[in-house]
A and B are shown apart, each in its own frame.
Chain A
Amino acid sequence: MISPNILFKVIRNDPINKSIVVKFCRENAQKSIDEYKSVNISYRNIDFSSPKAFEDSMRSRGNPLVMKQLINEPILDQNKGVSGIFSTNIDDYIGKIVCTTSDTSGSLNKVTL
């Protein structure tokens, strides 16, 4: 999956405990970044060696969180579909919303040579 642009907003900086409190969200999020949960990040987990390194490390830190936000976004009632494909007859699907889920089992299809 192509990762979206990620926004971050530093809420607090704590030089004594060497950490920052940050909010993350994707650029095209459907609510304000201020409505997302804050997280604390230790300085040791951020690369301050250059602006580019800082940006990359913040993006790297924020990416899993933003993906979780995306996955956990509520589903519109209008978009709630049925799961499962049980036939290849296209007429069975006219007018229906069908949900196709990603297979994370890692199993490969068996190929007989």
Chain B
Amino acid sequence: MALQSSGTIKYSEIIAEFGTPISGGIGEFRVSESVGSLSNLPLDADTCGPSANADIPQTGPIKFSDFYNARLNHVVDLHSIGNNTTRQDAKLRWNSGNVHIVGSSKTGKTPPPDTIDDKVIINVNATIGSDKGAQRNCALRTGVWDSGTSLKIEIGTSGKLYGGGGDGGSGGSANNGRGGDAKTGTSALGIQYPCTINNLGVIQSGYGGGGGGGGREQQTNTGKKSPPANNGASGGGGGGGAGLPAGNGGVSPQNAFGGGTNGSDGEAGSLSGQASGGLGGNYGADGGDSSLVNNSATKGDDGEVDTNTGGHGTGGDNGFAIITNQGSSPSVTGGGTITGRTITNTAPT
């Protein structure tokens, strides 16, 4: 619970919120803690005091009135989690005790049973990927927090959230097979509770793979002198979409016959680049490239359109940098990068 905003404030109310100092008195609440990518944290910042615009003092005099509007601060640990983990939920991390209570170095306070009216800072300072699956699957979701929780996401300079890349579509088989459809990219950050974001790192959507090219069978020697011959060439696979994990290149079937030649697989996806589609066999069509990595692209390329083949596969849709179930995009500060689209009024998964 936040402390009151005016009137008489008791020491017992302060220690009920922040814990009892292991030694000493109110002066022990002048703290400067470093947690993850966050340094010099006061007991509470920005919204304390009679005007609700100050920090709890870290040095010098400290008064009871400095504690007006003050709230317990929880820092959820997504900084020591190690790189290349996937699909994190900040609320589940909190539930599992992966949280630091600011001031606990002086009080030993443990996390309370809820975060009602508290401040929660989700500190990301590691690389976290999503998966290959539904477009709304996110590398990190905020989770749903208790009522009155003030939520902020702090992404440090080593904090990187990536959606997953979609696999490229397979090439069509040599007997007029249709190219396969590519898979969709997934998403980076899912917001399920109102919050603000300070991004010093990377938030990047996952991108869709390229569609497969069609295979083609055709007859040659249709004149009178030579018997007709059947020839088949397979289509090229689509390029793999960018992300973490990156999409695989689409596989081209190696089943050419007659004078046909085999197509090639699509290029494997990478973290942040466009992958080329595979070259089709001599009669087959080429696979499509994976999506460009930018803020406006919506999908990977379709396989090459060639009506003589069995047909092309479609490119996979891109995921999103940010998916929020709120009605508007979140407030974002900081000099980090956000690559990809943001969608509102949509529940992340």
Interface residues, chain A, CB within 8 Å of chain B?
12, 14, 16-17, 19, 21-22, 37-42, 44-45, 60-61, 63-65, 106, 108
Contact = CB atoms under 8 A, between A and B. Distances in A.
Contact of A44 (B236, B254, B268): B254
B264 A106 contact: no
A35 to B, nearest CB: 15
Interface in B241-287: 249, 252, 254, 261-268, 275-280, 282-283, 286-287
B267 A19 contact: yes
Q: Is the interface of B mostly helix, strand, loop or mixed?
A: loop
A40 B277 contact: yes
A36 to B, nearest CB: 11
Contacts of A60: 261, 282
B273 to A, nearest CB: 9
A39 B254 contact: no
Given A19-B267, A21-B276, A40 B249 contact: yes
A40 B282 contact: no
Given A21-B276, A64-B282, A65-B279, A42 B222 contact: no
Nearest to A46: B264
5 contacts: A16-B268, A39-B236, A40-B277, A40-B279, A41-B264
Interface of B: 222-224, 236-237, 239, 249, 252, 254, 261-268, 275-280, 282-283, 286-287, 289
Given A42-B265, A106-B223, A108-B224, 17 more contacts: A14-B268, A17-B267, A19-B265, A37-B286, A37-B289, A39-B236, A39-B279, A40-B277, A40-B279, A41-B279, A44-B262, A45-B261, A45-B262, A45-B263, A60-B282, A64-B280, A64-B283
A112 B252 CA distance: 48
A113 to B, nearest CB: 14
A40 B262 contact: no
A39 B276 contact: yes
A52 to B, nearest CB: 19
A14 to B, nearest CB: 7
A10 B286 CA distance: 17
A64 B264 CA distance: 14
Nearest to A65: B279
Given A19-B265, A40-B264, A42-B265, A108 B276 contact: no
B261 A40 contact: no
A42 B276 contact: no
Contacts of A37: 276, 286, 289
Q: Which 8 pairs between the two chains have the least Cβ-Cβ distance?
A: A40-B267, A39-B279, A42-B264, A38-B276, A40-B276, A41-B264, A17-B268, A40-B278
A39 B278 contact: yes
Given A40-B239, A40-B277, A19 B223 contact: no
A39 to B, nearest CB: 4
A40 B265 contact: yes
Contacts of A108: 223-224
Contact of A106 (B222, B237, B249, B266): B222
Residue picked from A14, A37, A39, most chain B C-beta under 10 Å: A39
A39 B210 CA distance: 12
